[in-house]
Amino acid sequence: MQERYAKIAGWGKYVPEKILTNHDLEKMVDTSDEWIRTRTGIQERRIRTENDTNSSMAVAAGRQALEKAGLAPTDVDLIIVATSSPDYLLPPVSSQVQHMLGAKCGAFQLGAGCSGWVYGLVVGTNMIRSGAYDTVLVIGSEIISFAIDYTDRTTCVLFGDAAAAVVLTASEEPTGVLAFELGSDGSDYDALIVPDAGSSNPLSQSTIDNRNGYIKMDGRRVFKFASRTVAQSLKRVIDQAGLLPDDIDLFIPHQANARIVEAGARLLRQPVDKFYMNIHKYGNTSTASVPLAMVEAIEEGRLKDGDKVAMIAFGAGLTWATVVVQMGVGEISPAHSLFSAARLNYLAKRTTNKVIDSVQMSLLPLYTWFVGRNKKK
């Protein structure tokens, strides 16, 4: 049987009109534009207006993706909506989105924190690769501001609202997701949590009194996890694709903190300008973050057909999800050809990288201790 691939055939985004700047936040909590910019890279974020709902934002992004691909909603075989902020606890927002779009297909909501959309991209891809479906719409939509305590300076400066989507279509050319890793480490489940409002602690007066219906985050714990995971997972998935970090044209990391991205770039020994960032405009838009960055990278001409892109998201769970994607059609990795100068060159560079990586990993605890020591001074 001919191998099937899932091509990224269309993309779209929606960002609310309302802008909340660092200076606006200075008037709300004890913070400063300088602190937020230097610690996170964020300058402003979008917040939903009264006209925006999770479903309306998902539909706007999804419709744009379908138009770009020249497809009608009735062409779609499956809709996946990744989110942590659906319109209602029940029903899943995916059914509202399916109805509002006018699609006639199955739809489900996917929850994997900020990693949700990348999880969805992998699920959609494999639905197509298995032959089950030909066209899958994968949306990430987030009104995360509803779960933010705007009296808590440790979280309210970080997050914003947005939606973005891609449509995947079946292809016989090698394209789309070439390799992936889906990760979860539930031992840190409480590092990023909304303590009340689930079935463990249903809503009550104490939820309101203790402000436990909002996101509580141990920022340092998440920071440590993310700084470790970004480079390590990217290395594994790039290797699985038969590529080297140098072969990647653009990295699209989760837009949670510019310092996490810079640490990842250093550990991968890649220039930081190969890492796309729009965090200054939007902050962390949770599951919409990676697809929104991907759509804007395409719009700005930073990502085009033929390019190889590595994307990584991480978030509550704690979860992470990493993919290497071929945009359009490109050259197959030299790792897959049997005997060639290109393969020998690839193997030599891969071995050198592995040696440097193992030295780097053994020195990492020393480096972390040194950076921590300098910070305390």
Q: What is the C-alpha to C-alpha distance for residues 310 and 323, in angstroms, rounded to an integer? A: 6
Q: What is the C-alpha to C-alpha distance for residues 337 and 349, in angstroms, rounded to an integer? A: 16
Among 97, 222, 309, 324, binds ligand COA (CB under 6 A): 222
SS3 253: strand
- The structure tokens listed for 24 are 């606006």
What distance lies between CA 286 and its chain's CA centroid? Answer: 7
Neighbouring CB atoms inside 10 A of 373's CB total 9
Q: What is the C-alpha to C-alpha distance for residues 253 and 309, in angstroms, rounded to an integer? A: 10
Contact stretch for ligand COA (CB under 6 A) within 46-54, 127-135, 152-160, 290-298: 152-160
Q: Does 227 bind ligand COA (CB under 6 A)?
A: no
Q: Is 156 a catalytic residue?
A: no
8 Å CB contact between 192 and 316: yes
At residue 102, what is the residue type?
G
Q: Does 118 bind ligand COA (CB under 6 A)?
A: no
Q: For the CB of residue 104, give the shortest distance to ligand COA in the complex, in Å.
A: 34
Among 284, 322, 326, 353, binds ligand COA (CB under 6 A): 284
8 Å CB contact between 287 and 83: yes
With left for phi above 0 and alpha for psi between -120 and 50, is residue 208 left, alpha or beta?
alpha
What distance lies between CA 177 and its chain's CA centroid? Answer: 14
> How deeply is 228 buried, as exposed, middle or buried, from its count of CB atoms within 10 A (0-12, 13-18, 19+)?
middle
Among 78, 79, 93, 157, binds ligand COA (CB under 6 A): 157
Q: For the CB of residue 257, give the shortest distance to ligand COA in the complex, in Å.
A: 4
Q: What is the C-alpha to C-alpha distance for residues 181 and 199, in angstroms, rounded to an integer? A: 30
Q: What is the C-alpha to C-alpha distance for residues 142 and 53, in angstroms, rounded to an integer? A: 9
Q: Which is nearer to ligand COA, 121 or 137 (CB)?
A: 121
Q: Does 350 bind ligand COA (CB under 6 A)?
A: no
8 Å CB contact between 107 and 82: no
Q: Which is nearer to ligand COA, 190 or 249 (CB)?
A: 190
The number of residues that bind ligand COA (CB under 6 A) is 20
Q: Does 154 bind ligand COA (CB under 6 A)?
A: yes
The two beta strands, 78-82 and 5-14, are: unpaired
Q: Does 293 bind ligand COA (CB under 6 A)?
A: no
Q: Which is nearer to ligand COA, 6 or 293 (CB)?
A: 293
8 Å CB contact between 142 and 286: yes
Q: Does 377 bind ligand COA (CB under 6 A)?
A: no
Contact stretch for ligand COA (CB under 6 A) within 46-54, 59-67, 216-224, 261-269: 216-224
8 Å CB contact between 263 and 230: yes
Helices (H), 241-311: 258-268, 279-282, 289-299
Q: For the CB of residue 299, give the shortest distance to ligand COA in the complex, in Å.
A: 24
Contact stretch for ligand COA (CB under 6 A) within 29-37, 132-140, 165-173, 174-182: 29-37
Among 27, 187, 220, 338, binds ligand COA (CB under 6 A): 220
Q: For the CB of residue 318, give the shortest distance to ligand COA in the complex, in Å.
A: 8
- Name the nearest CA neighbour of 311 among 352, 241, 259, 253: 253
Given the residues 22, 54, 156, 254, select the one marked as catalytic: 254
Q: Does 330 bind ligand COA (CB under 6 A)?
A: no
Binding to ligand COA in span 228-267, by CB under 6 A: 256-257
Among 5, 133, 223, 320, binds ligand COA (CB under 6 A): 223
Contact stretch for ligand COA (CB under 6 A) within 5-13, 98-106, 217-225, 265-273: 217-225
- Per-residue mark of binding to ligand COA, 96-115 (x: CB under 6 A): ------------------x-
Q: Is 284 a catalytic residue?
A: yes
Q: What is the C-alpha to C-alpha distance for residues 129 and 193, in angstroms, rounded to an integer? A: 34
Q: For the CB of residue 159, give the shortest distance to ligand COA in the complex, in Å.
A: 8
- Name the nearest CA neighbour of 251 among 232, 236, 264, 267: 264
The catalytic residues are 114, 254, 284
Binding site for ligand COA (CB under 6 A): 31, 35-36, 39-40, 114, 153-154, 157, 192, 217, 219-220, 222-223, 226, 256-257, 284, 315
